[in-house]
Amino acid sequence: MKKRVFILLLAVFNAVGVYALNINSTSTQTGGNDIVDGNLIVGDKSAVTYTINGNLTVNGSMTVYNGSSVIVNGTLHVTGTINVNGDITVNGRVEATTVNVNKTMTVNSGAVLHTTRDLNIDENGTLTLSPNSTTIVEHDLNQNGRFYLRKLDINTGNLNADQATLVVANNYNIFSVDLLLVDFTDDDATYIDPAHNEVYVFGKNDLTKVDGITAKPKDEDAFIDAYPMGLDGFVEAVMPIELVYFEAYNSGDQVYFKWQTASELNNDYFTIECSTDAEDYEPLATIQGSGTTNYTVDYDYQYRLNYVGTMYYRLKQTDYDGSSTYSKTEAVTFAAKAVTKANDFTVYPNPAVDFVTIAGGEYESVAFVSADGKIMSEQAPQNSHSIEMLPKGLNIVVIRTVNGNVSKTIIKQ
């Protein structure tokens, strides 16, 4: 049943999806919404550069081999693990379950790195966070290699305007203290980087191994005050929209979506995504955003789906530079439906000349079809239906209800 559902969705909405992808020549993902249903491998046979300019979803893991590099100018969403054995430069947004930095990864100004599990820096790895970048680790940050919060020029400008932000929701574990390159000192430092970057670490950590750094981050209290919902509140704040709510519900075989934004910043468009297992998602529909606004904006969308079971839906927001964020997931259950029988409805008069009436129950729409199968007219429920478009002779009336379709034959005189 799952396979049939997604074949239908792919056919109707033209989702771009491929199976496992192996890139062994320098190439560019030029834009749009691309899906890899499997693992993405970059440069296992030759040194290449792969540039991502649009939105790329990898329903699997991703490995960048030594000598090869990936440049993310848009959004890269990996449902599994990213293994950085080569180089990754983030100019847009990277989301993954876990990221293993075994060589070099750089998060540039304005970019976002988000792991829903761990961020691991191997003893041969280097992670660099540039000013005005954001890194969110929803579980542990394990450091056994080099970690830079890039040094700022303290003689120019306002340091707070150029800060990098790192949030670690659980533990920060330092396994090799001598490789923690804080290459300048500040006697008043009470958090990981004395250059006035923002670092928030919750749960247990062993930062006390480093001289001049206390176990409690300097601005942890300020973070809690600013985001009383904790990490969820912070992740939502990083979104370029302020999403008030997103909900999905069904009525018969119609699925209705509604959401509201309190403000939007460079919001290009929304994508409604669906899944039967809450793990592998497919794009369902794209709805244009409102750009930049401080006013409340309401959105809605609906579609028809014949399905029994539970479907999962989420809202993906994409801004002008290709970066994107996701809403919480909504589950919608479709129960088995009663079968509408042919004798539930009557079409009269029959034969008919100009109009017919449909009696016997509620219906959503009616289609008038010629004997050779051509749909001549589709009409909403009403007291009487015109049949002037039908050819003379035998024709078919298809009555559409929430419980299925009923077909009747009529004679047009």
For the cut 80, the answer to whether the pLDDT of residue 241 exceeds it is no
**Structure confidence at residue 30 (pLDDT):** 76
In angstroms, the CA 348 to CA 351 distance is 8
- pLDDT per residue over 178-227, tens digit each? 323 333 333 333 333 333 445 555 554 444 444 434 434 444 556 656 55
In angstroms, the CA 287 to CA 269 distance is 6
Most confident by average pLDDT, 65-74, 273-282, 319-328: 65-74
DSSP 8-state symbol, 397: E
Work out the percent of the chain whose per-residue pLDDT is above 90.
23
Query: What's the angle, vertex CA 122, arms to CA 116 and CA 127, rounded to 5?
Result: 70
Q: Element (H or E) spanning 225, and its range?
A: helix 220-226
pTM listed for this prediction: 0.50
For range 271-276, the mean pLDDT:
89
In angstroms, the CA 23 to CA 26 distance is 8
For range 112-136, the mean pLDDT:
85
For the cut 60, the answer to whether the pLDDT of residue 39 exceeds it is yes
For the cut 60, the answer to whether the pLDDT of residue 158 exceeds it is no
For range 156-169, the mean pLDDT:
51
Which residues are registered as beta bridge partners of 242? 263
User: In which region does residue 149 sit, left (phi positive, over 0), alpha (psi from -120 to 50) or beta (all else)?
Assistant: beta
